Amino acid sequence: MEPAPSNVGQFVETTKRFARRLLAIGENRFQLLMVEAQEARERLLRAILLALGVAAFGLLAGGALTGAIVVLLWELSRVAALLVLASLYGATAVWLYRRLTRLLRDWQNLPDTLDQLRKDRACLEKHLT
């Protein structure tokens, strides 16, 4: 009759150890998630600010270049100069749109956290079966 309490005590101790490890793993994964979320937020903010700067100065440069080209070609053909410039700007807009859609299609949120959770699940399944 005495071995039963020993087995129960050992089972309880094993369960406590397992619970502590599980909580430690959960805490580590949550910290990884928070670090990745912060890095993603900072990267997104930096990208937005850079994109706004590029857009603003690109617009200024494009306006100045357009004005210079139209003034230069005013005598030759005003309409042709404006049509060529509009076609060039339209083609650039289409190219940028295609790059943006490719970027959005390939976007991954928190890939390291998801990868680590997959590894944890595989390890648990291996040990539990």
For residue range 38-55, what is the model confidence (pLDDT) as tens digits?
A: 888 888 899 889 888 888
Domain that holds residue 85: 3-128
pTM: 0.51
* Count of domains for the chain: 1
Residue 4: the pLDDT is 57
d(CA 64, CA 58): 10
Question: HSE on the CB side for 102, CA within 13 Å?
Answer: 6
Q: Residue 123: its pLDDT value, please? A: 81
pLDDT digits (tens, 9 = 90+) for 68-90: 888 888 888 888 888 888 888 88
The predicted structure's pLDDT at residue 128? 72
Residue 69: closest CA among 89, 91, 53: 89
Helix (H, G, I), strand (E, B) or coil at 52: helix
Q: Report the candidate in 31, 26, 20, 43 with the shortest Cα–Cα distance to residue 109.
A: 43
